[in-house]
Amino acid sequence: MTSPPPPPGCPAHTPPPYRSGPSVAARLYGPDFAARPEAVYQALRALGPVVWVDLAPETPALLVVDYAACLEVLRDAGRFSKDSRRWQALNQGQVPPDSPALALMAWRPSALFTDGPEHARLYTAITDSLGQLDPHVLHDTVIACCEPLVEEFGPRGRADLVTDFAIRVPGRVLARLFGCPEDVGARMVRGVGGLIDATGARAQAASQDLSACLAGLVALKRDRPGDDLTSWMLQHSAGLSDREMVDQLVLLVGAGTVPTAGWIASGLKLMLGDPRFAGTLKRGTVPVQAALDEVLWRNAPMANFSIHYAIEPTTVGGTPVPAGVPLVVSHASSNLQTHRLYGKTVAHNRAHLAWSAGPHACPAQDPATAITKTAIETVLDRVPGMRLTVRDEDVPYRPGPFHRTPASLPVAFAPVQPSARFGDHP
């Protein structure tokens, strides 16, 4: 059987040399990859379960593209560590200090980068605190955060559902769940926006301001605890220090904003652009959960992540893997590969790896689902008759190796006056 020809950005048959080390089979950045990731993953799977890629210029890693191989990495905490201080190329100065990949890969003392008992302690503080969220309060909070945004663009009769809505909802919801005073919440939302929109030094400045903002919030909640996520984590038996609290909140902000925004945007794109779902809007039946399930299978918001490091030289799916190399799990490739087995019967099917798996599986699956589903239902209900003003296949995606999210989603609709649509909502 002949392998498919490599798409742009994936010179699979004549890989260029990377320094004196690995040969890179694909570049997971730039407009070519953003436009056609499925073709890149297909070509990579033809090479084997684990392949060398560049996450950014001069930032090589091993990408796990096979479903079974991904589970092998995610479930075997004895062979694979999450501690990025094991990253040998970074330790040896071979990774550019301004590599954009470092924003998500550089070590922090959070649950994302720890193993064993320390990971269990931090992870449990997060999961137990999230478990205290009242689903009804969360639902009302999301609506309260969505409606002012819709009021802004409703009278215009047009909007970009990414910049005007999807990327603005998660930060506002988290600010309320964290118990932020109004000024702190506004600063946190600005910091999140800076992380999403900026790169390089600007992104680093936004990250530092966000950490400083959250440090102030932790100090405030130690002095005056409330009925909120920050206070519950501070009161947890894990006994988190102030530094640990800030790092866990940064983790929640990072994991809860960009991926959730991408899920909202991709869900809206599917609802408005795919005839299978767009037709249901006209009939007044809106199968939002089915659309969200399909997004997780076909456009996982965290496309490539769950980064591990082999503790000792080993194999994955029969492929040799050296120690100390970033081993990036491709949720997107494994899901697309497995999606073929289920065809169209993906609604309510949870076999995908969009939430990762094993001891580091996402602890916020239920709140993230509730936020995304409620946000989509709210905007579709408050602004009926929305239609995409570009072809579904022409919707652009943000470049980068980790996230899969539309860059814009322009829509038009009959103008909606706030007084007519929002008068009976809090």
Full DSSP string of 2-19? PPPPPPTT---SSPPB-T
Mean pLDDT of 291-304: 93
381 and 333 co-located in one domain: no
Q: What letter represents residue 85's amino acid?
A: R
Beta strands in 296-413 (DSSP E): 304-310, 314-316, 319-321, 326-330, 387-388, 410-412
Q: What is the pLDDT of residue 254?
A: 87
In the chain, how many domains are there? 2
Domain boundary among 353, 371, 388: 353
277 and 417 together in one domain: yes
Query: Can you tell me the distance from the alpha carbon of 189 to that of 197, in angstroms, rounded to the nearest whole number?
Result: 12
Domain boundary among 317, 336, 353: 353
**351 band by pLDDT with thresholds 50, 70 and 90:** confident
Q: Do 273 and 375 lie in a common domain?
A: yes
- Same domain for 204 and 145, yes or no, is yes
pLDDT band for 423, please (50, 70, 90 cuts).
very low
What pLDDT shows up at residue 195? 62
Where are any strands of DSSP class E within 99-209?
158-160
Residue 347 has what pLDDT?
A: 54
Q: Which CATH number goes with the domain that contains 281?
A: 1.10.630.10
What pLDDT is stored for residue 343 in this prediction?
58
Range of the domain at 139: 115-295+357-426
- The alpha carbon of 38 is separated from its chain's Cα centroid by a whole number of angstroms, namely 18
CA 266 to CA 398: how far, in whole Å?
Answer: 12
Whether residue 82 has pLDDT greater than 50: yes
Residue 285 pLDDT: 55
Residues 36 and 102 in one domain: yes
Whether 265 and 337 map to the same domain: the answer is no
Region 330-355 average pLDDT: 78
The 3-state DSSP class for residue 298 equals helix
Q: Please check whether residues 335 and 236 belong to one and the same domain.
A: no
Q: Residue 341: pLDDT band by 50, 70, 90 thresholds?
A: low
Residues 238 and 307 occupy one common structural domain: no
Which of the listed residues 316, 336, 353 is the one where a domain comes to its end? 353
Order of strands, edge to edge, in the sheet holding 326-330?
50-56, 59-64, 326-330, 304-310, 80-81
Q: Are residues 268 and 308 in the same domain?
A: no
Categorise residue 311: left if φ over 0, alpha if ψ from -120 to 50, beta otherwise.
Answer: alpha
**In three state form, how does the secondary structure of 189-215 look?**
HHHHHHHHHCCHHHHHHHHHHHHHHHH
Q: Are residues 285 and 180 in the same domain?
A: yes
Q: Which pLDDT score, from 0 to 100, does residue 425 have?
A: 42
Output the domain CATH number for residue 343. Answer: 3.30.43.20
What's the one-letter identity of residue 25? A
Please tell me which residue, 158 or 18, carries the higher pLDDT value: 158
Residue 90: the pLDDT is 96
pTM equals 0.90
Which of the pair, 386 or 254, is modelled with greater confidence? 386
Q: Cα dihedral sign for 159, 163, 166, 172?
A: negative
Distances (CA, A) of 194 to 200, 246, 266: 11, 18, 21
If asked whether residues 68 and 201 sit together in one domain, one would say no
Residues 144 and 287 in one domain: yes
Q: Quick one: pLDDT band at residue 1, thresholds 50, 70, 90?
A: very low
pLDDT at 20: 36
Q: For residue 115, which phi and psi values (nearest 5 degrees)?
A: -130, 165
* Burial grade of 362 (CB within 10 A; 0-12, 13-18, 19 or more): middle
For residue 151, pLDDT over 80 is answered with yes
